[in-house]
Amino acid sequence: MSEPTAGPRLSDRQRLSWLRLIRTQNVGPASFRDLINRFGSAEAALEI
């Protein structure tokens, strides 16, 4: 069995922003990743 890969290290504030964004209506896994890539962070994506 392979070990799980580690994701990015997130502060508590960043983790909360990620959770808020992924729980936003009409945001699924693909659009979540698109928003992170476009805006650079979940916090920035939430400000739009």
Residues 30-48: tens digit of each pLDDT:
999 999 999 999 999 999 8
Residue 31 lies in a domain: yes
**Res. 2 pLDDT band, cuts 50 70 90:** confident
Q: Count of domains in the chain?
A: 1
Q: Residues 21, 42: contact at Cβ < 8 Å? A: yes
Mean pLDDT throughout 19-33?
98
Q: Residues 16, 42: contact at Cβ < 8 Å? A: no
Residue 11 lies in a domain: no
Q: Residues 13, 43: contact at Cβ < 8 Å? A: yes
**Residue 1: its pLDDT value, please?**
64
Residue 15 lies in a domain: no
Domain that holds residue 27: 21-46
**Res. 5 pLDDT band, cuts 50 70 90:** confident
